[in-house]
Amino acid sequence: MRNSYSPLFAMAVALPLLSAASPNKPKSGLPLGQEVSAFRPTHVTGPDAGTNTCPVCKYGNTPAVQVWVTGDNLDNVGKIARTLESSIQKVGPNKLKGFVIFVKPKDVGIKTISIELRQLATTNGLSNVGLLYVDGPTDTPVRAYRINTAGDIKNTILVYHQRHVDANYFNFTPDKANLDSLRQSVMKACAH
């Protein structure tokens, strides 16, 4: 498997930040407490593979994690997805959902992104975490979720329960400390 496809998915090297960033710093994703909204991505793998099911509508108030990928390295995405897969296996798929949502570049075809996502799922042993995509940086859900598609923002992670955001990370690098922080945010969402 290639480490990345298209120039959009280049190596991310920034530190994770919470959405409480100052007004002068970049932001991405919904702020804490904001309600997540309905959208219809294309599910390539996971429990809803082959559908355009709205994850927010279908799973309602179930705690969930959305990882929006706007330019990250597939190795980093795989580490984040494996952490989510492990968390879902720990608490059970009825108590936690995980979605990795790729913002498909306009110059990348559906066949190409589908092959890459299936390969990513297989390589990382993902069965509970769904790999999905939306159709480009100007697609309605990208705007609704306030996903920053600037070249320096590689990913945005939203942890939520009862449809309200509990944690927001962006430019998340999956080192041990950051993954531990993500796991804690996920377990806290599941404890509500």
Q: Is residue 8 part of a domain?
A: no
Q: Is residue 12 part of a domain?
A: no
What was the pLDDT predicted at 63?
98
Residue 129 contacts residue 100 (beta carbons within 8 Å): yes
Residue 177: give the domain boundaries.
17-191
d(C-alpha 30, C-alpha 168), whole Å: 7
Q: Is residue 4 part of a domain?
A: no
- Average pLDDT (167-189) is 96
Confidence of residue 72 (pLDDT cuts 50, 70, 90): very high
What was the pLDDT predicted at 127?
97
Q: Is the pLDDT of residue 176 over 80?
A: yes
What was the pLDDT predicted at 25?
76
Q: Is residue 1 part of a domain?
A: no
What was the pLDDT predicted at 14?
33
Q: Is 160 exposed, middle or buried (0-12, 13-18, 19+ CB in 10 A)?
A: buried
Q: Is the pLDDT of residue 8 over 80?
A: no
Confidence of residue 66 (pLDDT cuts 50, 70, 90): very high
Q: Is residue 96 part of a domain?
A: yes
Q: Which two tokens stand for residue 44?
A: 């390539």
At 29, which CATH number? 3.40.30.10
List the strands of the sheet with 64-69, edge to edge: 17-18, 164-170, 155-161, 64-69, 97-103, 129-134, 42-43
Confidence of residue 13 (pLDDT cuts 50, 70, 90): very low
Q: Is residue 101 part of a domain?
A: yes
Its pTM stands at 0.88
Domain count, the chain: 1
Q: What is the pLDDT of residues 87-144, one digit of tens each?
A: 999 999 999 999 999 999 989 999 999 999 999 999 999 999 999 999 999 999 999 9
Strand partners, 130: 99
Ramachandran assignment for 29, one of left (phi > 0), alpha (psi -120 to 50 degrees), beta (any other): left
Q: What is the pLDDT of residues 16-42, one digit of tens each?
A: 334 444 456 789 999 999 999 999 999
Q: Is residue 5 part of a domain?
A: no
Q: Is residue 7 part of a domain?
A: no
d(C-alpha 51, C-alpha 35), whole Å: 23
- Average pLDDT (2-7) is 38
Residues 153, 131, 99, CA angle at the centre, nearest 5°?
70
Alpha-carbon Rg for the chain, nearest whole angstrom, is 15
